[in-house]
Amino acid sequence: MPKFSGIRSRVKMAAEMHNLMPIVRRYFVIGAFDGALTIMGVILGAYAAGHLTKELVIVAGIAAAIGLSVSSAVGAYEAERIESALQHKKVERAMLKTVEGTRKETAMIGNVVSALVHGIAPLIAAFVPLVPFFLMEPLEAMIYALIITIVFLFGMGAYLGSLLKEMIIYTGLRFAAAGLITAIIVFLIGGE
């Protein structure tokens, strides 16, 4: 088993051996999408319930972001751990022997990296709709939060569309539509 010189080289080797970049990209997008929409839901829920205050939105938003972050990280780690263990057993069956060493270690590193990305992404994206509440009065902040969240979602969709060389605007609009639909549903539930 070769010795690794550091964390960076271990992560690089894991990325190469297990094709980690598509997994990390998926987890980042899923986590960021969840983070932005969840906090937008918290904001609109507070408004629909008639309790839109800076304190409520900031505290509930941060609490929801932390809960979502932990849930995402643990869920991703466990899902990836199981999948990599199943894949490892498949390799061992094909080779008719036990496989130890670098492959197993890099799989574990890949699991941890995937979990970290999926845990950090919603935490980062959760602050997109919260920022206006640190700077403005609640009603004005809510309007800006909606706008910047929809723009953020559009940007994320456009980025994904650019990877496929699809119509970037179309993919961006699909992401933004999810945000708008979420807003409409929350408003309808609140009876506003």
Report the pLDDT value the prediction gives residue 18, as an integer from 0 to 100: 75
CA distance 69 to 181: 23
Q: What are the DSSP calls for 45-61, one per residue?
A: HHHHTT---HHHHHHHH
CA distance 172 to 162: 10
Q: Alpha carbon of 162 to those of 28, 125, 168, 174, 188: distances in Å?
A: 16, 20, 6, 14, 34
Report whether pLDDT(8) > 90.
no
- Residues whose CB falls within 8 Å of the CB of residue 127, separated by 6 or more in sequence, listed in order: 65
- Rg of the chain over CA atoms, in angstroms? 20
Q: How confident is the model at residue 184 (pLDDT cuts 50, 70, 90)?
A: very high
pTM for this structure? 0.85
Tens digit of pLDDT for each residue in 134-153? Answer: 999 999 999 999 999 999 99
pLDDT mean across residues, the chain: 90
Token digits for 30?
């899923």
CA distance 89 to 76: 20
DSSP 96: T
Token digits for 156?
């994320």
Buried b (16+ CB within 10 A) or exposed e, 49-68: eeebeeebbeebbbebbeeb
Token digits for 96?
């008719």
Q: How many helices (H) and strands (E) does the chain have?
A: 6, 0
Instruction: Pick the range with the lowest mean pLDDT from 39-48, 51-60, 100-109, 135-144.
Output: 100-109
Q: Alpha carbon of 113 to those of 74, 99, 109, 120: distances in Å?
A: 12, 22, 6, 10
